[in-house]
Amino acid sequence: MTARDVRDVILARLPAIGSPGERPFTDPDIDRERAWELIAREYIETLQQFDRTTLERAFGRVRDTNTTGFWPSPGRLRQAALALAPSIPDPDAGRRREADAQAEAYVSRFVRTSKLYREAKRDGWAGSLLDYVQSAAALQAQVLAGTRGVSWDRVLLDPDSSAEPREQIDALIRGWRDGGLAEVKVAVPKARIAVWRAAATERPAPAGDTPWQEVVARLTASAKRPGGPG
């Protein structure tokens, strides 16, 4: 359970799944090399608690069900790893599998039928949109399945909120329940859409990228202990 395990099993294989889209590059104040490093760290911090075998199985499950052409989010990989982790019996394993299936089915329909997704794909912000939809669908599916704990992705957090992350997620779930949540159905906040559209319009043309694998190797080369980069 080290940063190197995440590097070897997850980060090194992400390019084979598809494109990161614009996900790492939405902040014009962060250069592209730094953006690559931040996204790599997010995967490491989210997944380094799992052993290598669990990571292998989780990556395989997510890869085989990915229909979007974009990298799966760290939260999606973590949810798969939680369902597959062997160390602690999970009494909610069946419910988690049910939640996975519901979320995957919704995202697959969204990609095929959503006018908003077609616009985002055309204009270069589909990765950000899909990250949000995948994460919200996964959380809604867990709520509907009645799991005793939920896994969630930081992409659901409001960057302008001063509330603690857990408080934000609890408020999001309460809002869904108060609205009569009966099936997975994601309403993307208009404010998020506006930010993504603006970022896609203002983003400079890519130039001089440091290759992903180079950033990943540098980030994990000095890992000195289990649980994170050195």
Chain segment 123-168, per-residue pLDDT in tens? 988 888 988 998 899 999 999 999 877 888 888 988 888 888 889 9
Please give the tally of structural domains in the chain. Answer: 2
Give me the sign of the Cα torsion angle 51, 57, 59, 62.
Answer: negative
Is there a single domain that holds both residue 105 and residue 214? yes
pTM above 0.85, yes or no: no
Express each pLDDT in 36-71 by its tens digit: 787 888 888 889 889 899 999 999 998 888 777 788
Is there a single domain that holds both residue 50 and residue 110? no
Is there a single domain that holds both residue 67 and residue 110? no
- CA-CA distance, 17 to 22, in Å (whole number)? 15
Is there a single domain that holds both residue 120 and residue 33? no
Residue 228 domain-assigned?
no
- The domain containing residue 112 runs over which residues? 92-223
Is there a single domain that holds both residue 122 and residue 192? yes
* Amino acid letter, 122: R
Is there a single domain that holds both residue 216 and residue 179? yes
Residue 230 domain-assigned?
no
